[in-house]
Amino acid sequence: MIRVNGEDQTFVSESVEEMLQRLSIESRGVAVAIDGEVVRRSEWSQTRIEDGNAIEIVTAVAGG
């Protein structure tokens, strides 16, 4: 089980990049943190999601 933005989800062995694709989240303007630590975009394809992780996905919103 993992927790994504406060909601429990079934654990799937995948990278951060694969998870975003599976969840249909556009990667542009997105930041990802795992267990409180921000994962650099350049490391998304190598960083694996582990069972029990708490993941926060934040999308930047333009506005004025």
pLDDT confidence of residue 64: 61
Q: Could you give the strand order of the β-sheet that contains 37-39, starting from the edge strand earlier in sequence?
A: 7-9, 2-4, 54-59, 30-34, 37-39
Q: 12-52 pLDDT, tens per residue?
A: 999 999 999 999 999 899 999 999 999 999 999 999 999 99
Answer whether residue 18 is part of any domain: yes
| 62 pLDDT tier (thresholds 50, 70, 90) | confident
Q: Which residue has the tokens 């993992």?
A: 2
At residue 63, does pLDDT exceed 80?
A: no
The range of the structural domain enclosing residue 15 comes to 2-59
pLDDT confidence of residue 60: 83
At residue 57, does pLDDT exceed 90?
A: yes
pLDDT confidence of residue 47: 98
Instruction: Specify the CATH number for the domain of residue 33.
Output: 3.10.20.30
Q: How many domains does the chain have?
A: 1
Nearest one of 63, 58, 45, 47 to 6, comparing CA atoms: 58
CA distance 11 to 54: 11
Nearest one of 44, 55, 43 to 6, comparing CA atoms: 55
Residue type, 14: E
Answer whether residue 64 is part of any domain: no
